[in-house]
Amino acid sequence: MTIAVFIIFAVTVLAVSTYTSRRSRGVGGYFAANNSIPWGVNGIAFAGSYLSVASFLGICGLIAFHGFDGFLYSIGFLAGWVIALFVIAEPMKRMGTFTFPDALNRNFKSPGIHLAAGFSVLVVSLFYLVPQMVGAGVLIEPLLGIPHYWGVIIIGGIVILIVAGGGMTSTSYVQFFNGGLLLIFAVILAIAVLVRGVSIYPQHTEEGIEGLEQYRYEMVSVKFDGDNIRLNDDDMPGAKITGKHSFYDRYTGEENLVLYRISRRIPAISGDRATYTAFIKGRTPYLPASSEYENYWNIEEADGEMFIRIQDWWRLLYDRGGEPYLLEAQSRTVMPHGGILVNGVPEGPANRLRQMGGVSQLPEAYGESSGPIGPLRLLSMFSDSSTVTQLPKSAVFTTANGAHTTVHYTEPVSGDVFMRPGLRFPLEKKEGEPPLTTLLNRLNFISLMLALFLGTAALPHILIRYYTVPDVAAARKSTIVAIAGIGLFYVTTMYLGIGALASGALNPATSNMSAPLLARSFGEILFAMISGIAFTTVLATVSGLIMASAGAVAHDIIGSLVKKEISDKAKIRAGRITSVVVGILGIILGIAFRGMNVSFLVGWAFAVAASANLPALILMLFWKRTTAKGIIASILVGVVSSVGLILLSPDMWSRYGFDAAAAPMPLNQPGIISIPLSFAVLIIVSLMTQKNEAASSPA
Amino acid sequence: MIPTAEKACPEKRKIKNGVILTILYSIIYAGFVTVSVFRPEWMGINTVLGLNLAVAYGLGLIGVAVLLAVIYNYLCRVPREETIPAIEAKPESDQ
C-alpha cells in the first residue's frame, strides 16, 4: 500500500517535470526559466525548495527528542527570511543576470570574483546536499525495506534525470507541487494531533499494526541493601541482578546514570516445532528451544510452567517521595562473536528496538487523557511543570565480557523544562561546571542563532529563485507568499514534534523518523502520503541545489577560467554535465554520512553560506568602497574559516573516532567566529585596495 | 517618463524601509537570544494565553516576520505596469 502511494507520487512528479521541461529553451530557459513563472507559484515554490527534509523530518525529530531547542531551528530558519526579503531581494532583482556570482560581479567585471563566488556556491551546495541525501536514505530504508544506500541512489538518480533533462522550469514546478503538498499535510497532521489530544497511554488507531508496537515500560520498586539494591520478590519472582553500569557527572563526579541488568523470567507460549515465544516489551518473537546464547537467554521450567529467561537493562530512578525504583529500558548488544541481541534475545525482523516516548503524567485537571484539545491549550499543558515527558536517551558502554551495549532509556523531563531552551544547547550553569564551559555553551547558542539568521539570505538555491519572476514587484510578492507559507509550516512543526513525542512512537535510534512515525500512528494511508511528500521534498531540494551548482560551474567557474567566449550550447552542456557529476558526488557522500543528524548538518551549511556569501552581498549593496579584491578575499576567507572550523569541531572529532573534548575548536557552531571574520576581511582588504580599483556604487 | 509609482516610492526609500524594518526585527531577535543566554529562567515565566515566554516569544518572532513582510509590501506598492527589465542580454531563443 505504501509502495503504491509512493510510486504514484514519484511518477506524477516526473510527469510534471517532463511536461514543463519542454517549455524551457535556451540558456535563459535552462538557468532562469525565462522569467515566466507567476509570483504566486514562485512563492510556494520558494517554500517548497526551502522546506527541505531537514525542516520536515529533522526539526520534528529534534523537538520530539529535545523539546524547545528543536524549535530554535524553526525560529532561526524563518527569521532569516527577513534579511532575504528586506535587504537583498529588491537590489538583487534589479541587477538581474543569471546567477549569484553574476550579481556580485555586476560592478567589478572581475574574473576573480566569478571564480570565488562560483566556488563558494559549489561548497555551500554540497554542504546542504549531504543532509538531504542522508535523509533520503533514512526515509526510504524502512519504508520500502531496502538498504540505506539504495534509497540514496534511487533519489539521486531521479533528480539527475529531472535536472539534466529539463533544467530550471521543471525544478520550479516540482517545487511548487511539493511546497503546496507539504503545507497541506503538515496542517492536516497538526490538526490530527490536536484532535487526538495527549494521554498517558500510548496511542494508535488499530491494535496489532505490524511494526507499531507501543508498550508501556514497567516500573518496579526496589530497596537498598547497603550499596546494592534488592528486588521485590512479589513483583518479579525468580529475578536477580546480574550487572550494573554507572555513568558519572564530568564535573561533580557523582553518579548521574545508573543501569542495572536484571535476569528475569517471562511466561512462555509454545509455538510449533519446538519454538517458544513470550511477550517481551510488546513483541512476541519466536525463539528456538535450544540456543547458542545460553549465557544470555534460555528456556526454563519452574513450577510446571515454561518460561523464557532473559537479561535486560533497567534504570535506577527516584520518585517524588525519594524512594528508589527501576524503570524498564531497551538495549541493543553486539556481542564479542558478532551476534546481536535486542532486549535480551536475538535481533530479527520480529525483534527490533521498540518505539519509545510518551507522556507519563499530565496536570491534575486533565487526569489520564486530555481528549481533543485546542492549539494554545496543548502548548500550555505541555509547559506545565506537572506534565512529565519521557524523552528517549541512549548510553553506550562495553561490559566486562566484551559486549558492546547501547541502552535506550527514558529520561523523565517535566514540561516546563521541555518547553524552554536548554536541553540540547545548554544555557544554564550546571553544578560544578567550570565557567569556561558555561561561556562556551552560551557562545555556541549565540553562534547557532546568528548563523541561522544570516544564512538564509545567502543560500545559493534561494538566490537563484529571485531571477525566475517577471519583475521586481512580483519578486517581492512571491517572497511574502513564501514567508507566510513557511511561517505557517514552522508553527505546525511545534505541534508535530509534541505530537510525535506524545504518541510514544519515536524510534530511539534516529530522530529523523519522528514525523513519518507520527503519521503512521494515525494510520497507514496518512503514513504513505507523508512519506511520499518527504520523497518529493527531497527531490525538490536536491534538484534546486544541483541547479545552483550547475550554474556556478558552467557559468562562473568555467566562464571565468576560459578566455574565449563560450557558446550558449556549450554552457548548457557544461551545466548538464555538472548536474550529473554533482549528483553522483551527492550520492556518494549521502551514503558515507549515514546516521548523522540532518538538522545539525544543515545548520552548518547555513554557517558556511553566512560566512562566505553574505558579507560580500551586503557590503557590495550598501558600502561604496567595496572593491573586487575585498570581495574575493572575504568569500575565500569565509569559506575556508567556516569549513575549517567545522572540520575541527568536537562533533567532527568524535566522528573521526577521537575524543570530542580534545578537538582544537571548542565550539560546534563556527558562525560567531567566521562571519565577523569575513566581514572584517572584506572591509580591510577593500580599504587597502582603494587606489587599484574603480570602485563604484551598486546600480 | 517616470511612472507615478516611482515618484511616490523611489528606490532609495524602498531600501531605507527595508533596512529600518530589518534593524527593528534584529533587535527583537537579539532580545530573544539575550534573554535565553543571560536569564534563561525567565523563559519559563507564564505570559499570555497560558504560554510560557519561550513559546510566546518564539511564535511571536515568526508572526512578526510575516507581519513586517506585509507592512513592507504595503509601504511601497509597485503597480503592475512598472516593468524593469531584469535581463539585459536576451539569449538566443527559437520560440
| Residue given cell 544547547 in the structure block | A425
pLDDT at A355 over 90: no
Q: Is the pLDDT of residue A607 over 80?
A: yes
The answer to whether B22 contacts A87, with C-beta atoms less than 8 Å apart, is yes
How confident is the model over A201-213, as a mean pLDDT?
A: 52
Residue of A534, A517, A528, A510 lying closest to A204 (CA atoms):
A517
Interface of A with B in 242-301 (CB under 8 A): none
- Tell whether B31 is within 8 A of chain A (Cβ): no
Q: If pLDDT is split at 50, 70 and 90, which confidence band does A448 have? A: very high
At A570-602, the pLDDT tens digits run 777 877 888 888 889 888 888 877 766 788 788
Q: Does A77 touch chain B (CB under 8 A)?
A: no
> Rounded to a whole number, what is the distance in Å from the CA of A672 to chain B's nearest CA?
13
A65 in contact with B at a CB cutoff of 8 Å? Answer: no
Distance from the Cα of B1 to chain A's closest Cα (Å) equals: 19
Predicted local confidence at residue B80, as pLDDT: 46
Q: Are the C-beta atoms of A61 and A511 separated by less than 8 Å?
A: yes
Query: A551-578 burial, b for 16+ CB within 10 Å, e for fewer?
Result: bbbbbbbbbbeeeeeeeeeebbebbbeb
Give the model's confidence band at A698: pLDDT under 50 very low, under 70 low, under 90 confident, else very high: very low
B48 close to A (CB below 8 A): no
Listed residue (A419, A362, A412, A422) closest to A391, CA to CA: A412
Supply the angle between the helices A524-551 and A39-50 in degrees, to the nearest 10: 100
Interface test with A, best of B13, B43, B71 (most A CBs within 10 A): B43
What pLDDT is attached to residue A108? Answer: 76
Q: Under an 8 A CB cutoff, do B51 and A78 touch?
A: no
Chain A neighbors of B33, CB-CB under 8 A: 445-446, 449
pTM: 0.84
Interface pTM (ipTM) of the complex? 0.82
To the nearest whole angstrom, how far is the Cα of A446 from the nearest Cα of chain B?
A: 7
Look at the block and give the residue holding cell 573534548. A661
pLDDT of B31 above 90: yes
**Residue corresponding to grid cell 494510520:** A523
Average pLDDT in chain A: 80
Q: Is the pLDDT of residue A639 over 90?
A: yes
Which pLDDT belongs to residue A190?
Answer: 94
Q: Residue A695 and residue A152: Cα distance in Å, rounded? A: 47
What are the chain A neighbours of B55 within 8 Å (beta carbons)? 68, 379, 383, 419, 494
> Mean per-residue pLDDT for A255-263?
89
Q: Is the pLDDT of residue A461 over 60?
A: yes
Percentage of residues of chain A with pLDDT beyond 70: 84
* Distance (Å, whole) CA B21 – CA B39: 26
Backbone angles phi, psi at A585, to 5 degrees: -60, -40
Examine the pLDDT at A168 and tell me if it is beyond 60: no
Average pLDDT over residues A375-386: 90
* Chain A residues within an 8 Å CB radius of B61: 75, 78-79
Helix A39-50 vs helix A168-196: crossing angle, to nearest 10: 70
Angle at the Cα of B11 (from A77 to A465), degrees rounded to 5?
40
Cα–Cα distance measured from residue A685 to residue A252, given in angstroms and rounded to the nearest whole number: 48
Check: CB of residue A516 under 8 Å from CB of residue A525.
no
DSSP A369: B
Closest-CA distance of chain B to residue A493, Å: 11
Side chain identity at residue B93, one-letter code? S
Which of A88-92, A376-380, B6-10 has the least mean pLDDT?
B6-10
**Mutation for testing the B interface, residue in A86, A478, A479, A480 having most B CBs under 10 Å:** A86
B34 lies within 8 A of chain A by CB: no
